[in-house]
Amino acid sequence: MNTRGNRFYIETFGCQMNVSDSEKVAGLLLVEGHERVSQPGEADFVFINTCAVREKAADKLFHALGRIKHLKTDHPGLRVGVGGCVAQLEGARILKRAPQVDVLVGTHNFGRVPELLRQAREDGRTAVDLDRAADPFGVSPNDVAHSNPVRAYVTAMEGCNRVCSFCVVPRTRGPEVCRPPEAIVSEVRSLVERGFAEVMLLGQTVNAYRFRDVDFAGLLERVQEIEGLLRLRFTTSHPSHVSPRLAAALRDLPKLCPHLHLPVQSGSDAVLASMRRGYDRREYLDTVRLLHGTVPELALSSDVIVGYPGETEDDFQATLDLVEEVRFDGLFIFAYSPRPGTTAARLADDVPEGEKLRRLHVLNDYQQRAQALRNRERVGSREQVLVDKVDAPNRVSGRTRHFRTIHLDAPERLVGSLVTVEVVGGGANTLTGRLIEPTVSLTGASSVPIL
């Protein structure tokens, strides 16, 4: 059994990119003999990985650091690390505000966490690496500790070349860097051999991927050919990089799931122009028509920012109208907050906080009602569900091909299995189902009927 001194705990705030980065850190620590624990109070090293896209994520970091500070009183040997976009953006300012931090790493330096931890323990000083010139793909895929037993994340590209006025990603992640398609295919093939049935390709604007003569649709075609892979997904996409070739791939590649996250951010042309999104309302709706015309059953989700500088009530109504017209399957809604170093931060933040929250609640209430209605309409339909989580004893959940969550009464051994489910109930955010067929094990075991 491992002794006191090498137990670690990781807390992650943010999107799939952040989760993937934390999986890399966890894997490297496990390879070196560290033991993962479920509570920060049990750990000798606490690592916090956060995004910086929203101010709330940065606030969460400092709240977490405040809680952890008190743990050092009882455990002086505790070391604390911070990594990711907030670390890259704030740099040494984090150390001034939170001197209890012992390890600070940027978005390209996660592979050095074990080395920096050793350095911090040996000399008692904060170990820092914020070098954005480092290789963002430096962690071996074999060292990643995937947190989902069924679905694995694979980074296709890092960084972003867009110039959206509100976004810090180009500052924290750098310009676009794409991995060779051969490296991506090799990693996915290895994951399938290890039992992962589903892979999600990641990138800040993943559909902008291009490596020499291979565009994103070409990459999807190569991954789709891997024997044993059951499902293929990707996120996040930019509307300007949705092409007829990508729409055709969503239609023609049987392993590619019919779900696309396509952030719109606003339905107002004036706001979109100020945001420097690179498209207007009509162009976004034309893209949606292309997608739905090619893949009628495609599930679309999106991001929306309310209360952006200068957003009027008419601008907000334009966003409501667009959301109603598109009928998104899911919507992530954020109240605008200025981010350091962005173009928008120089604009007057002139929408009162109370009004931002009102608009957020109005839009969220509409979307929740619409989702609940559509999910109730799915009662009686049949779905293929890849079970990936135990909710409670004899209660599991998984995702449909459209990335909808469905819960069902079934034994824990179904995790990692593909099952056919009849939808028996639907709320705003999830479905409930009843198992109606024998399971299909994805690990090579015999099918087992569940009564």
Give the tens place of pLDDT for each residue, 239-252. Answer: 999 999 999 999 99
Nearest by Cα to 388 from 171, 162, 149, 195 = 149
Stated as kind and residue range, the H or E segment containing 35 is: strand 35-36
User: Is 446 part of any domain?
Assistant: no
Domain endpoint, select from 376, 401, 422: 376
Give the tens place of pLDDT for each residue, 90-137. Answer: 898 999 999 999 999 999 999 999 999 999 999 999 999 999 889 989
State residue 442's pLDDT score: 61
Mean pLDDT of the chain: 93
Place of tokens 């709706």: 285
> What CATH number does the domain containing 422 carry?
2.40.50.140
Under 8 Å CB-to-CB from 133, ≥6 apart: which residues? Answer: 108
Domain endpoint, select from 104, 129, 154: 129
State residue 280's pLDDT score: 98
Residue 25 vs residue 14, higher pLDDT: 25
Cα four-point dihedral sign 361, 367, 373, 378:
negative
- Kindly give the interhelix angle for 353-377 and 313-326, rounded to the nearest 10 degrees: 10
Residue 74 belongs to domain spanning? 7-129
Q: In angstroms, rounded to a whole number, what is the distance separating the alpha carbons of residues 106 and 134?
A: 10
In this structure, the answer to whether residues 215 and 334 fall within a common structural domain is yes
pLDDT of residue 450 exceeding 50: no
User: Is 67 part of any domain?
Assistant: yes
State residue 439's pLDDT score: 57
Give the tens place of pLDDT for each residue, 271-314. Answer: 999 999 999 999 999 999 999 999 999 999 999 999 999 999 99
Return the DSSP state at 352.
-
Domain endpoint, select from 376, 392, 410: 376
State residue 52's pLDDT score: 75
Q: Give the residue-averaged pLDDT of 12-33.
A: 94
Q: In angstroms, rounded to a whole number, what is the distance separating the alpha carbons of residues 440 and 450?
A: 11
In this structure, the answer to whether residues 186 and 204 fall within a common structural domain is yes
What are the φ and ψ backbone dihedral angles of 7, each rounded to 5 degrees?
A: -100, 135
Domain count, the chain: 3
Place of tokens 């839009």: 363
> What CATH number does the domain containing 214 carry?
3.80.30.20
Nearest by Cα to 211 from 191, 203, 109, 134 = 203
Q: Which residues of 58-93 are buried (b: 16+ CB within 10 A; e: fewer)?
A: bebbbebbeebeebeeeeeebbbbbbbbbbbbbeee
